[in-house]
Chains A and B, each alone.
Chain A
């Protein structure tokens, strides 16, 4: 099946029996399995549509708002992430595909 390009990532949907496997490319050319055993019994076009919807959910595009309470930073390992102040007028919430969004801004 033709690959799906979304958010600068390359996804493939491949048939495995009556189900579908969703893979995506990693830096360096290797592939990771995003989902296996998906969309049982669906046709190729249906599986592709469902895969795109799933990809948009599990790999969201946008500014990750950690917080939004800026007084309440989150720790990821030893990294302290202070959330953006979403109430600030300079905060832009970006929810468009990174391929198409520049022309929309």
Chain B
């Protein structure tokens, strides 16, 4: 599938990886729907795309709400007449260990709040499911060639302090296998699904963190720096163009390793 002339939808398109994906697609001739929770971020990205000479529409929505998902799919098709690419980049973190102990008594002093669990599962897993499901519905009913791109994470392997995030991201990583298996079973041949699992990426969330902690992270990255959001975006662009890529999850981490050199 060619990017030029395609219509893409990017959730979380107002900043970070999502913004880079929007601009990559727009810069390569796709029409893009920028979906985000924050209207001012949408306005900024849509204006940037307009100044690039690209085509975009902004749609404020919460990916955890089923009615919002239906609305941003409808809005994309109303604006550009079809949908070919859906990238589910909306994601949040609410880190914390499941249990914390009191240093003196050794008893549990704090549990990870259910609200922190639920919010991350809602956005990173249920939101991805709803976006993929409704985008696929539109692609099937429209008869358009399509690519579904759940955004997973290298921390799908299980990161301490992220039981909520890692649980959601490992499920996101599994989606391509299940979705494409079901598509084969149902005779749906016009849609592919490839998940992307980024490593530590230079988004505002990471670049703004404690610099000592960031340095410690980078010591385990073979590349020696954070992955750029544009590098993630170009990988997704490659997935669009290479039709043999399907039913898989691609890691793009710069060579992230565990301490002592075992690749993650």
Instruction: Give A contacts to B, CB under 8 Å.
Output: 19, 21-22, 26, 32-38, 50, 53-54, 57-60, 65-66, 72-76, 80
Contact = CB atoms under 8 A, between A and B. Distances in A.
B79 A35 contact: yes
Contacts of B31: 37
A54 B47 contact: no
Contacts of A53: 78
B211 to A, nearest CB: 24
B75 A33 contact: no
Nearest to A34: B58
B71 A35 contact: no
A75 B64 CA distance: 11
A59 B75 CA distance: 10
Interface stretch (B14-22, B49-57, B102-110, B249-257): B49-57
Interface residues of B, number: 30
Nearest to B43: A32
Contact of A57 (B39, B56, B65, B71): B71
A83 to B, nearest CB: 9
Contacts of B62: 66, 74, 76
29 contacts: A26-B43, A32-B39, A32-B43, A32-B46, A33-B47, A34-B57, A35-B46, A35-B56, A35-B57, A35-B79, A36-B50, A36-B54, A36-B57, A37-B54, A37-B56, A38-B55, A53-B78, A54-B57, A54-B78, A57-B59, A58-B57, A58-B58, A58-B60, A58-B75, A59-B60, A65-B65, A72-B118, A73-B115, A76-B62
Given A37-B54, A75-B119, 10 more contacts: A26-B43, A32-B39, A32-B46, A36-B49, A36-B54, A57-B75, A58-B60, A58-B71, A66-B65, A74-B62
A73 B67 CA distance: 16
A36 B39 CA distance: 16
Nearest to A21: B50
B131 to A, nearest CB: 16
A34 to B, nearest CB: 6
B50 A38 contact: no
Contacts of A80: 115
Contacts of A22: 57
A57 B74 CA distance: 7
Contact of A74 (B57, B59, B67, B119): B119
A72 B31 CA distance: 36
A54 B79 contact: yes
